[in-house]
Structure 1
């Protein structure tokens, strides 16, 4: 799946039907190519999760709905959330080597620690978060 908008597609940043509830519920700050590095750096020691998504991406909407359906376990992961619409900012897709969305990329102190591609449920997402924390601490990754 490409992260590039299709030719003739409407401007994704102007989508009035965009559901922002997940972004609001988890205090996800919107970033673009000009702001992402500063936003990651500003989080300091916090584990940052950047949610790369696109307007009208079915799997992105499914991920947002799943997070909203059971927000407690998501909040318990204590992530510093950022989000980026890669259809509106395709340079991010190229920069981070995205070949499909959604992608959740993890950082701490500006260092990329890993990624979760797609939404395969809270259990797999939590395992990806745990692996990112292990990598940040220098410990071996979980199986």
Structure 2
């Protein structure tokens, strides 16, 4: 079986910090008031590579969402896949101050992803929280 090479361009383009089970909670806490998103992906995941390539076609629109980006290969960090009961990748989870706000499963285009971001921000607002800083990286 031939492995699909991992294209790390999206990780670098969006300044995604890699997470493991050991670093997960501390990294999200360090994101402070930013809306954080964790991109869960897997090695040899064709749809993960498609999602990264699609994101790279619209880097300014993705950056304009003002997210603090993280990523984790759940095929390597299986404990994170179990912790979040992942049944498939790619999946993005949104967090604010360590609290999970929602998720997006599969890449269904920028509009769907923007809607997931807006839903997460509305949960922050509904809870009386301040709007996350829009230009957080």
Flag whether TM exceeds 0.5 (same fold). yes
Deviations 1:61-114 (A, max 9, x none): 111000101111100000000000000011101000100000000000010000
Give the paired residue count.
Answer: 127
Long gaps (5+) in structure 1: 1-8
| Other-structure match for 2:131 | none
Q: Does 1:104 align with 2:92?
A: yes
* CA drift at 1:136: 1.1
From 36, 40, 46, the equivalent of 1:58 is: 46
From 32, 35, 48, the equivalent of 2:23 is: 35
- The ranges of structure 1 where at least 4 consecutive aligned residues each deviate by more than 3 angstroms after the TM superposition are none
- What is the CA–CA distance in structure 1 between the aligned matches of 2:103 and 2:6, rounded to whole Å? 24
Q: CA RMSD in A?
A: 1.6
- What is the CA–CA distance in structure 1 between the aligned matches of 2:6 and 2:119, rounded to whole Å? 31
Cα distance change, pair 16–115 in 1 and its aligned pair in 2 (3 A): closer
TM-score scaled to structure 2, two decimals? 0.89
Q: Does 1:24 align with 2:17?
A: no
Q: Does 1:117 align with 2:105?
A: yes
Long gaps (5+) in structure 2: 128-137
1:70-85 mapped onto 2 (5 Å cutoff): 70-85=58-73
Deviations 1:38-77 (A, max 9, x none): 0000000000000000011011011100010111110000
- What is the CA–CA distance in structure 1 between the aligned matches of 2:37 and 2:109, rounded to whole Å? 16
- What is the CA–CA distance in structure 1 between the aligned matches of 2:60 and 2:4, rounded to whole Å? 28
